[in-house]
Amino acid sequence: MRLIVACIFTTFLCALISCNPGQNDETTSVAVIYHGGDIITMQGEAPQYVEALVVQDDKISFAGTLAEAKDQAGKGYRNYDLNGGTLLPGFIDGHSHFSNFSAQAVGAQILPPPDAGAEDIPSLLNILREWNTPANRALTGWIFGMGFDDSVLKEKRFPTRHDLDQVSTEFPIMIIHISGHLAVVNSKGLEILNIDASTVDPEGGLIRREQDNQPSGVLEELAAIPHMLKALEPADKQAQDLFFEAGQNMALSYGYTTAQDGRVMDNHQQMVSVAEAGKLKLDVVSYIDYLFVDKYMDSQWYGKTYTNHYRIGGMKVTLDGSPQGRTAWRTQPYLLPPDGAQPDYSGYPAIPSDSMVTAIFEKGFKNNWQILTHANGDAAMDQMIRTMTEVARQYGNHGRRNVLIHGQYVREDQLDSFKELEVIASLFPLHTYYWGDWHKQLIGDQLGNKISPTRTALNKGLRLTIHTDAPVALPNLMRMVGISVERKSRSGQVIGANEKLTPYEALKAITDWAAYQHFEEGRKGTLEAGKLADLVVLDHNPLKVPEAQIKDIKVLATIKEGVMVYQN
């Protein structure tokens, strides 16, 4: 088990914060001056630096020269010496699944290199065997892991129940695909989930079959996602606490001060529990799956104000699946269809009926809910544009800040439509590293070079954010920034050189621009007086190192509202 635990040691504080003579008593509010390194405010279209930043209580009170900062801070201030590090606003992921960070932190580490060691099916099975201890099984009752990737496994195929049965036929096993949209279970898992040859595929999902119609163990989309929640649900209060702390500490270690929970169902209740218990050290904004909005959107947690660091921000709609998992809905067939599919296979919709999608969007527009729409394939985005345009004509569209999530295979004409609809594009350029080579096999070189077209979106005037979609990938925001700038695949190929972001733009997309997406630009995203003291300290300046080194930059400290919540 890998737990990332952040501890704040007195020795660390003494090393970084030196107190002036005559400092006020500990119970008295004392200003802190940050200086001694690069401080990038993230204001404006070009980098702006200040020499010092003053934090008073939970807010920034001044940004400017060190001499002026000392005057502003008054007597008894404390120094935070950056020791050559770089200070930025706290990071805000454009889209992630905070509730699921914990399963990634706690479960078997079946990600491929460089994140873990599952490079082929035998190594994946060995990782599961090593994780399979009574203590680990007791956490949920399942042997589980997140992040296997058939596109990287040497066999270039999905594991099946037959593979997982080599680990155990006594205990249920579930491994979750790196897309988060597919899973594989062993024979015992199929038995527990009541899936057999007679089980009917759910709408928007698929149970892959063998020749005798028996399930192979591979479950797609809505045949998988509801069952994932069961397999990953902590068994008791002790397990719940362990899961939560592991996931939160993982987020803090990567510089998150605001995280998104991007498709919330009944796990909203778990978030309410930790919020009411005062356990959240960062802000979490949830987006409720459209099937659960009647249950939760009328609650006290919906709105633009956090209660104990938690709030509901709006509604999530999912229109298709994963491009790397080949369940994204396209207008053209995949060049390499999945096992058992016909040559003209082009993925499939999550909600086949346009009238149903229109009704879902209409509910969101009527209630003035911000809508996040997951769409990866261009057919899914055609459906989004058709239905949202109809609803926007009826209810008006200005100021809603609706968001396209992912948009991997978006066409240029669709970007124009999204601009007209005032949709924010939250794109996913991490794909260029993790699956850039794979996309070219699936859709060809020409289209493969256009995945996550961040530069084209900016040039067309769309508002842009970028995201990790964690736990699809590790929630490593600096790796995301570096990959957005380099756009190099695992093999070293540049995937769409014309779609690169500058380092400053990539940082804007996880600070200033991401704050706007979440209606929080008035209190987050830049370092200026009056905003929350949400800060991150890096070991190097992303604007001053070679492009290839950006993704390896480490977070030294994460500060939420003036309180250090993580240190490396």
Going along 44-172, which residue ranges are E strands? 49-50, 52-56, 59-64, 78-81, 86-89, 91-92, 108-109, 143-148
DSSP 452: S
Q: Is residue 245 in some structural domain?
A: no
pTM over 0.85: yes
Q: Is residue 292 in some structural domain?
A: no
Residue 294 CA to residue 299 CA, distance in Å, equals 10
User: Comparing C-alpha atoms, which of 251, 261, 255 is closest to residue 284?
Assistant: 261
Look up tokens 């200086």; give the residue. 35
Residue 256 CA to residue 566 CA, distance in Å, equals 10
DSSP 97: B
Q: Is residue 139 in some structural domain?
A: yes
Q: Is residue 208 in some structural domain?
A: yes
Start-to-end C-alpha separation, the chain: 20
Residue 339 CA to residue 337 CA, distance in Å, equals 7
Helix/strand/coil (H, E, C) string of 351-385? CCCHHHHHHHHHHHHHCCCEEEEEECCHHHHHHHH
Flag whether pLDDT at 45 surpasses 90.
yes
Average pLDDT over residues 435-446: 94
Q: Provide DSSP, 207-240.
A: EEE-TTS-EEEEEEETTTHHHHHHHTS-SSHHHH
Flag whether pLDDT at 20 surpasses 80.
no
Decide: residue 519, CB within 10 A, 0-12 exposed, 13-18 middle, 19+ buried.
Answer: middle
CATH number of the domain that 148 lies in?
Answer: 3.10.310.70
User: Comparing C-alpha atoms, which of 254, 396, 406, 252 is closest to residue 317?
Assistant: 406
Map residue 98 onto helix, strand or coil.
Answer: helix
Name the domain count of the chain: 1
- The rounded percent of the chain whose pLDDT value lies above 90 is 88
Length of the chain: 568
Torsion region of 455: left, alpha or beta (phi above 0 gives left; psi -120 to 50 gives alpha): alpha
Q: Is residue 515 in some structural domain?
A: no
Going from the C-alpha of 85 to that of each of 35, 330, 480, 556, the distances in angstroms are 9, 45, 20, 8
Q: Is residue 212 in some structural domain?
A: yes
Going from the C-alpha of 444 to that of each of 65, 272, 370, 385, 409, the distances in angstroms are 53, 45, 35, 25, 12
pLDDT, tens digit, 9 for 90 and up, residues 126-149: 999 999 999 999 999 999 999 999
Q: Is residue 464 in some structural domain?
A: no
pLDDT of residue 233: 87
pLDDT of residue 8: 32
Flag whether pLDDT at 17 surpasses 50.
no
pLDDT, tens digit, 9 for 90 and up, residues 299-350: 999 999 999 999 999 999 999 999 998 999 999 999 999 888 999 999 999 9
Fill in the amino acid letter for 10.
T
pLDDT of residue 339: 82
Going along 381-520, which residue ranges are E strands? 403-406, 424-427, 464-466
Question: Quick one: angle between helices 378-395 and 412-420, nearest 10?
Answer: 20
Fill in the amino acid letter for 534.
D
Between strands 283-289 and 59-64, the pairing is unpaired
- The rounded percent of the chain whose pLDDT value lies above 70 is 95
Q: Is residue 187 in some structural domain?
A: yes
CA atoms within 13 A on the CB side of 565: 29
Domain with 159, as residue range(s), is: 98-231
* Most confident listed range (17-31, 336-350, 353-367, 435-449): 353-367
pLDDT of residue 13: 36
- Who's near 501: CB < 8 A, 6+ residues apart? 429, 454, 455, 458, 466, 484, 485, 509
Residue 196 CA to residue 209 CA, distance in Å, equals 10
User: Does a cis peptide bond (omega within 30 degrees of 0) precede residue 114?
Assistant: yes
Chain Cα centroid distance, residue 11 = 33
Look up tokens 């633009």; give the residue. 304
Look up tokens 């040559």; give the residue. 343
Going along 111-204, which residue ranges are E strands? 143-148, 173-177, 182-185
Mean pLDDT of the chain, nearest integer: 93
pLDDT of residue 26: 43
Flag whether pLDDT at 450 surpasses 80.
yes
Going along 121-200, which residue ranges are E strands? 143-148, 173-177, 182-185
pLDDT of residue 28: 54
Flag whether pLDDT at 166 surpasses 50.
yes
Average pLDDT over residues 52-74: 97
Within 10 angstroms of residue 122's Cβ, the number of other Cβ atoms is 14
Exposure b/e, 429-441, CB count within 10 A at least 16 = b: bbbbbbbbbbbbe
Map residue 517 onto helix, strand or coil.
Answer: helix
Decide: residue 88, CB within 10 A, 0-12 exposed, 13-18 middle, 19+ buried.
Answer: buried
Phi, psi of 363 (to 5 degrees): -60, -40
